[in-house]
Amino acid sequence: MAREVDERAGAPLLTVERGEDDAGRPLVRLSGDLTLETAPALWRALGGAANARCDLSGVRTAQPGALALLVERLGARAPGDDRLFGAREEVARVLRLVRRFPEKVAERPRPAPLVARLGDALWRFLVQAQRVAAFAGELVVAAGRALRHPSSVRWRDVPMLCERAGVQAAVVVGAASFLAGLMLAFQLSSRLTSLGLGSVVADITGVAVTRHLAPFMTALMVAGRSGSAIAAELGTMQVTHEVDGLRVMGLDPVRYLVFPRVLSLALIVPVLTAYANITGIFGGYVVGVVQLDVPTVEFVRELRASLDLEDVVRGLLKALIFGLTIGLVACQRGLDTRGGPQDVGTAATTAVVAILFSIVALEALFAAVGSFFGL
């Protein structure tokens, strides 16, 4: 018989002998201790021993883990399989425990082919888009009910949410818009200087900031700050069953939680955008005065001549739509959270990605529509 010994400090812990019985069938004889310490040696020694019979009469002690590996190696999972024999009562008791439940082994999912995964990703994107659209519908219905039953909305949350999304974001929004205006003017400065058109910086900065940069930068900042926070907050409420708690109390989570958040963002993003208009234009002014030597009076005159109220209003309307979008997507992703704490993080991340994508897509749509209608 072939013999393998696992020993520590000279004393054998487990001896595995492989050979054949009198009838010529493969036979394994074990003696010693079957524990997690000897299990690696057992596992190695019994490679290719499926269908062998196993004499356990020499086994002194057995832990379930090592016995489970023995059963697995021999393919003797069925409780009635008598190929494991000779076990003393203590060992047999553990063996019965190991084989107590009938076999039901799940198949591991195989990785899908690339095309299937791409198709799956596209499908999930479409499903998400459909859910956001359905959620927008729910919100419209909830808004209608809120107008009929104003007491069912937590109006007192709105100022607090406005403060959180607006006042606390003012510094970062102002700074980002200032830098965007500054960057735009810097990019233009060398070309304008060579053409002798330094004062045009006021025209271009004014229109670009009010129409595009200020609403866009504001939306990006609010998405990163408030969008992720709202998704995480509602996601946490979802996984801790607080949202279910509202439902069972007869409260509509859309009216109670979503409506105030979307409303506050729809209010605050245009306000922040108006503020970002000022800081963005100021960024252009700094470059105009410092880099292009444009006098302040000249800058203001050019700005007033080029900037229509329509430009400002159009930018603020865009900001209103961005605010609604941020609130809608963030709330939808938050309330769509299922599972545990890690899913809250996923909800916040996917919310920000979805919001940024939506804002860029909307910006492109506005540009295309504006161009088509000559606006």
Binding residues vs another protein (CB under 8 A):
35-36, 39-40, 43, 63-65, 68-69, 71-73, 93-94, 97-98, 100-101, 103-106, 108-109, 239, 338-343
Q: What is the bridge-based pairing of β-strands 53-62 and 26-34?
A: parallel
Nearer to another protein, 1 or 97 (CB): 97
Residues 6+ apart with CB under 8 A from 125: none
Q: Alpha-carbon Rg of the chain, whole angstroms?
A: 35
Q: Are 311 and 236 in contact (CB under 8 A)?
A: no
Nearer to another protein, 42 or 294 (CB): 42
Nearer to another protein, 78 or 133 (CB): 78
Number of helical (H) and strand (E) elements in the chain, helices listed first: 15, 5
Nearer to another protein, 2 or 106 (CB): 106
* Least Cβ distance, residue 14 to another protein (angstroms): 13
Distances (CA, A) of 229 to 47, 151, 225: 54, 26, 6
d(CA 34, CA 49): 17
* Least Cβ distance, residue 16 to another protein (angstroms): 15
* Least Cβ distance, residue 235 to another protein (angstroms): 12
* Least Cβ distance, residue 242 to another protein (angstroms): 16
Nearer to another protein, 102 or 196 (CB): 102
d(CA 36, CA 92): 18
Nearer to another protein, 108 or 148 (CB): 108
Q: Are 210 and 313 in contact (CB under 8 A)?
A: no
Q: What angle do CA 22, 24, 30 make, to 5 degrees?
A: 70
Nearer to another protein, 78 or 365 (CB): 78
* Least Cβ distance, residue 245 to another protein (angstroms): 16
Nearer to another protein, 101 or 373 (CB): 101
How buried is 347 (Cβ within 10 angstroms: 0-12 exposed, 13-18 middle, 19+ buried)?
buried
Q: What angle do CA 196, 201, 204 make, to 5 degrees?
A: 125
Q: Are 148 and 141 in contact (CB under 8 A)?
A: no
* Least Cβ distance, residue 28 to another protein (angstroms): 16
Q: Are 266 and 323 in contact (CB under 8 A)?
A: yes
* Least Cβ distance, residue 127 to another protein (angstroms): 19
* Least Cβ distance, residue 101 to another protein (angstroms): 5
Q: Are 178 and 283 in contact (CB under 8 A)?
A: yes
Annotate 315-365 with DSSP letters as a single string.
HHHHHHHHHHHHHHHHHHHHHT--SSHHHHHHHHHHHHHHHHHHHHHHHHH
* Least Cβ distance, residue 373 to another protein (angstroms): 49
Nearer to another protein, 62 or 262 (CB): 62
